[in-house]
Amino acid sequence: MKIYNIAVIAGDGTGPEVIREGLKVLDAASIGKFKLALTHFPFGGEHYQKTGETLPDSAIQELRKFDAIYLGAIGHPDVKPGILEKGVLLKLRFSLDQYINLRPVKLYPGVDTPLKNKGPEHIDFVVVRENTEGLYCGAGGFLKKGTADEVAIQESINSRKGVERCLRYAFEYTRTRNRQKKLTLCGKTNVLTFAFDLWERTFHEVAKEYPDVKTDYAHVDATCMWMVKNPEWFDVIVTDNMFGDIITDLGAMIQGGMGIAAGGNIHPKGVSMFEPIGGSAPKYTGQNKINPLAAICAGGMMLDILDEKEVAQKIEQAVMKVTKEKLKSLSAGQMGYTTTQVGDLVAEQVV
């Protein structure tokens, strides 16, 4: 039987609770088909407070040997912002060159959206976010820091190679998704006339190789507007790191909230990492109230990338059945079930 080696970084806050349910579902779904060999890593805020270590280079080397990484949440209320984000999460994405952040925005049946008169038939698109460049590179610095003349510079790095590989992934993905076969570039060509000039030129060049894929363009501000007003216009959106970060939080809200939003940090030929995108939710830690569906969906995405497509689909179907028939709400503490019970409900459906 096929064995997949999975590195588990449950992380902080509610991370361990939701990962536990995700693993429960993966376990149930895998029976008789394949095995997951799990190795747990302790990284996150608590580990940092105990040891002063974020994510050592030796761990990166070790993580390279796995088939995938399953991540809960990184973030601790007592650790200064930036340390864990850069030291753990972004370090993982960058060192493993996970250049795609894939974030589906899909409204499941039975789930409330804040958008009036919109249902599951209107909200079903995917954001392909560039995940290793842009404003996230950490390029820049201070001049005259701490003085009245202080200047702070934060540069957006966009390489032809980086942009092109992201666009190619997005075209391929749009093709295999096989819905509207429409790829929208989200940028800001009217103001960021260097960065998005490169994106736009590369977009049209690569598009020639995909005549079956329709192309479209929207500025990032307009993208936000259309996501609220006409989300059904979108099939796949491709964008840079910063814009992708922002619009996928908006996306998470229209699909029912952070309780359901999952994402994959992908290197198509390397080690990819899957996570619920909601964060560590410290105020719900240890209460068995948080919604584990995002983590469960992230687990499903992980199987999809591992090419266990059938089982991945089974997990998504199970989640849809549970949102449709069982949960009162997706919000923590208001689901009508505990975290553990929601995990059980999905697990029952996938055996």
* Contact positions vs ligand IPM (CB under 6 A): 85, 89-90, 245, 277
Catalytic residue (one of 169, 245, 289, 314): 245
The nearer residue to Mn ion, 21 or 245, going by C-beta atoms, is: 245
- Residue 227: which of ligand IPM, Mn ion, none does it interact with, CB under 5 to 8 A by kind? none
In a 3-state reduction of DSSP, which class is residue 114? coil
Is 221 one of the annotated active-site residues of the chain? yes
145, 161, 221, 309: which one is catalytic? Answer: 221
Give yes or no: 2 in active site.
no
Distance of CA 209 to the CA centre of its chain: 27
- What is the C-alpha radius of gyration for the chain, rounded to an integer number of angstroms? 20
**Closer Cβ to Mn ion, 240 or 245, answer by number:** 245
- Min dist CB 72 to ligand IPM, Å, is 13
Q: Given CA atoms 334, 318, 286, 85 in this order, what sign does their dihedral have?
A: negative
Tell me the closest approach of the beta carbon of residue 147 to Mn ion, in angstroms.
32
Catalytic annotation present for 169:
no
Is residue 188 part of the annotated active site? The answer reads yes
Catalytic residue among 4, 70, 108, 136: 136
Residue type, 46: E
Contact 175, 181 (CB under 8 A): yes
> Cα separations (Å) of 115 from 111, 154, 249, 256?
11, 35, 15, 10
The minimum distance between CB 203 and ligand IPM, in angstroms, equals 22
Task: Assess whether 249 carries a catalytic annotation.
Answer: yes
Q: How far apart are CA 180 and CA 231, in angstroms?
A: 13
315 binds, among ligand IPM, Mn ion, none (CB under 5 to 8 A by kind): none
Nearest distance from C-beta of residue 85 to ligand IPM, angstroms: 4
Nearer Cβ to Mn ion (130/245):
245
Catalytic residue, chosen from 24, 91, 106, 188, is 188
Greatest alpha-carbon span in the chain: 67
In sequence order, what DSSP letters do the residues of 275-332 get, joined into one string? EETT---GGGTTSS-S--HHHHHHHHHHHHHTT-HHHHHHHHHHHHHHHHHT-S-SST
Q: Cβ of residue 252: shortest distance to Mn ion, in angstroms?
A: 9
Q: Which residues contact Mn ion by CB under 5 A?
A: 245
Q: Among all residues, which ones are annotated catalytic?
A: 136, 188, 221, 245, 249
